[in-house]
Each structure stands twice: as structure tokens, then as C-alpha cells.
Amino acid sequence: MRVLTIFNSKNIIVIVSFFLINFSYSQKKDFTLVLDAGHGGHDFGARGPYAHEKNVNLSLVLKVGSLIEKNNKEVEVIYTRKTDEFIPLIMRADIANRNKADLFVSIHCNAGTKSAYGTETFVLGASRNQDNFDVAKRENEVIYLEKDYETKYEGFNPSSPESVIGLTLMQNIYLENSLKMAAHVEENFKKEDRFSRGVKQAGFVVLVQTAMPSVLIETGFISNYQEGEYLASEDGQNTIAKNIYDAFISYKKEYDKKSGKEEVKEVVVVKEKEKPIENVLKVQFLASFNKYGLNASQLRGLKNIEIIKSNGRYIYYSGSTNMRSESETNLKVAKEAGFTDAMVVEFKEKEALKNEYYTIELLLSPKKYRETDAIFKGLNKVTREKNNNVYIYTSGKVINYESAKRLLENIKKLGFSDAVISKIPAG
């Protein structure tokens, strides 16, 4: 897009030239896809009568990636592995997060009884269905092959349904788009007369760590003689890769439409000089049960971030302005970073809350402190609340956001660098 601005004494005339979507696509990459070939190296995955899972997964990923790279120049394809090597689950997710991916696709083969067959595509979610849990358990047990897995995954137990369900509650903001991609995958498998076991939810470690829509595709049962032969064959792999590619194209079209990437004609916009509004405009780009640091990879490099905890969730905002044009620019930046559901919200920072108040969440800890302990030196009226074996410590009570920001700034000077503002119901 090229913008020419002509100033005169009364108005600002903005002439905007839009080019066709295909032209802009040829200039730069506007979508990042991470393809993940499950298992690898000393982790063979499932073993079938015709092939090992790790080899089929890699072959399929390379075929899907090749189709996209040849036909979709606007898409940057990143691979978690392109050779037979072992990549820890947490590192696979980190590759996607560091590259600010718009979509994460993990490709696997299923295993079970010799009679079991069919495809299924998983998204992250809590499920007490035993079959779904068994699939997730088999994929998650890869962590036992990693060094220091107990420390890396903070005591996560793949064999415990409660542990898996607790893990999935941490990340559900990308569920809608994940389900869309999963549905496209299974629809395309059915076009080849494959038996689709459907779209399912389960707790996969590789999905819970990603900060974008993510799916895990089980392309068939490698343990089944007939389907295992199909998965190991060149023709079968080419067909499966084309199915996944077509699913991605359908998802990408919806993504482009939602992002407003449509062809428009050249327009001339005449605007009066903008005036600031009374209140403050911020971009709400993320709501999560996870508490992220201001420089966490999940926040994708956005600047001027503010966090408010409300009803147990952390709401993340970026930018702060009283100019609507600036808020629109901030919104565009957030969406280009991958937060397609971001929106501009208006803050009345000086207005008093009704039936609520602001406090400062100092820290979360499994340790039980007293108000008089040295850690709280310089603070008054520290409160403690227990929630799921974690103690939540807060301090202060104010009724407008402007005061809450000042209180947060003072508390951070005392060493509570991860403190955030929390909105609490009165009484």
C-alpha cells in the first residue's frame, strides 16, 4: 500500500493506492505456517508392519511443505525438523512461538489394535473420553525420552487424566480457529473415501505450548496392515499431503477474508484534522488463564503492554492513545502479529468503578507467607487467598484505573516486577 498525504490549512487529503492482493503477496510473506513432523531420531513413534511412524511423518511434512512453497509464495513455511532427528516437544512449540506463526500443524500416524483404522484430527481441549486420552497419552509419553523432563514440564504426568485436563485449561483462546482447520482436514480426507473418526479434543503437550491455532493430525493407523501399507506408499503419501494442503488453502482463504485482504480500487479519502478524544483507547489482543511476562514469546513482540486480571483470566492490552487513527494502527499491528481477534476498547481511566475495585496481584506462590514476612517489606494490608494449592497475594484497594496504574508503578519499585492490576468484585 502506498500513501501520499497532502496538507493544506483546513483539511488533510489522503490519497491511498491499493494494489491487487496477488501483487502484495509477491512482495512479502504475510502468513507463517509451522509444519511439525512428529517423533524422530531415537524416538521411532509407532511401529507398523511396513514403516516406522517417524519416517512417514517426515515424508508427509516435506510433501505438504513443498506444495505450499511452490504454489503459495505469500506463505513462509517453517519446519520443526527436515531430517531424522529428535526434537523435544517444548522446543517444537518454541520454534512456532519465536517465528510468530499463524498456524501450527503437527503430523502423526496413529496406532492401536490391528483392526483399528481411520483418520482423526485433534485440537487442544479437555476430554474425559478414554480413546482421546489414550492417543494423547501415547504422544505425550515422548517427554520421557528428554533430559530433565520433570523440570521442563513442571511435574506433568502423561498418565494422569487430571494432569492433562489441568494443562489444557491454560490455553483455549485459539480453539475456534483450530477447530476450523481440523474440520477442513477431515473433510478433505473424506473426499478420498477415507474413514474419518472426526475432529476431537485432547491434551497434547506440543499443542498447549503454542501461541497460535494448532492441530495434530493422525493420518491413519500405521498398525493396521491395509492402512499401514497405504501410509508407507508413495501414492498414499502424495494423496494425504494433497488433502492436508487443500485443507490449509481453505483455512487460509477464511483467514485472508477475516483479515480484510481483499481487492479494492484506488480511493481518495478527505478527512478533517483529527481531534483527540476524552478517554483512552487500547487494543485488547489476548485473554488467557496463563500469566505471561511482558517479554514472553507468546506476546509476539507487542509493545506498551498492560495486563488486567479479571474473573480469573489475564487480559492483555497494547498501545494507549486518545487518537482513533493511532488506535487503528495499533490494532493493525496486533492483527499482523497473529492476534486476528484483537479489538480496540475504550478506557475511562478516571471513572470510579461501581461494585468493583482494583488491587495489585503481587505474586502467585505455592509457599504460604505471612503479611509480616520480609518479602512484603514496605507494603500495607497484604491479603492472601488460596486457589488450587497456589497462594495469591494482593495489596492495595483503589476505585479507578488511573490510581491503579500509579499503585502498580510504586509496587514494582519494591521489587515485584511481575505484579499486575486485578479487578475484584466489591464485598
268-310 pLDDT tens trace: 455 567 889 999 999 999 999 889 988 888 999 899 999 999 9
- Residue 13 placed within a domain: no
352-398 pLDDT tens trace: 999 999 999 999 999 999 999 999 999 988 999 998 889 999 999 99
Do residues 43 and 101 share a domain? yes
Torsion (CA) 373, 375, 378, 382 in degrees, nearest 10: -70
Distance CA 324, CA 330 (A): 10
Cα–Cα separations (whole angstroms), residue 350 to 88, 279, 398, 402: 48, 9, 11, 6
Do residues 302 and 375 share a domain? yes
Do residues 225 and 371 share a domain? no
Copy the grid coordinates of residue 270.
478527505
Do residues 106 and 249 share a domain? yes
Residue at 324: amino acid letter: R
- Residue 1 placed within a domain: no
Distance CA 418, CA 106 (A): 33
Beta-bridge partners for 311: none
Do residues 124 and 29 share a domain? yes
Strands (E), 293-351: 305-310, 313-321, 343-347
Distance CA 108, CA 140 (A): 12
Q: What is the pLDDT along the chain (427 residues), one digit of tens a residue?
A: 333 333 333 343 333 333 333 333 334 578 999 999 999 999 999 999 999 999 999 999 999 999 999 999 999 999 999 999 999 877 888 898 899 999 999 999 999 999 999 999 988 764 444 443 354 444 444 434 555 544 444 444 444 443 333 344 344 567 889 899 999 999 999 999 999 999 988 655 545 566 788 899 999 999 999 999 999 999 999 999 999 999 999 999 999 988 776 544 444 455 567 889 999 999 999 999 889 988 888 999 899 999 999 998 999 999 999 999 999 999 999 999 989 999 999 999 999 999 999 999 999 999 999 999 999 999 988 999 998 889 999 999 999 999 999 999 999 999 999 999 999 998 7
User: In whole angstroms, what separates CA 166 from the centre of its chain?
Assistant: 17
Do residues 169 and 139 share a domain? yes
Do residues 299 and 243 share a domain? no
User: How are beta strands 196-202 and 305-310 bridged, if at all?
Assistant: unpaired
Do residues 374 and 421 share a domain? yes
Q: What is the structure's pLDDT at 210?
A: 67
Q: What is the structure's pLDDT at 327?
A: 94
- pTM of the model as a whole: 0.53
Do residues 223 and 294 share a domain? no
Domain count, the chain: 2
> Which domain CATH number covers 227?
3.40.630.40
Angle at 32 (CA atoms; ends 40, 99), nearest 5 degrees = 70
Do residues 230 and 284 share a domain? no
Do residues 228 and 140 share a domain? yes
Q: What is the structure's pLDDT at 376?
A: 94
71: how many CB neighbours lie within 10 A of its CB?
10
- Residue 325 placed within a domain: yes
- Residue 266 placed within a domain: no
- Residue 354 placed within a domain: yes
Do residues 231 and 304 share a domain? no
DSSP string, 75-134: EEEEES-SSS----HHHHHHHHHHTT-SEEEEEEEE--STT---EEEEEE-----HHHHH
Structural domain span for residue 104? 22-258
Q: What is the structure's pLDDT at 405?
A: 95
- Residue 213 placed within a domain: yes
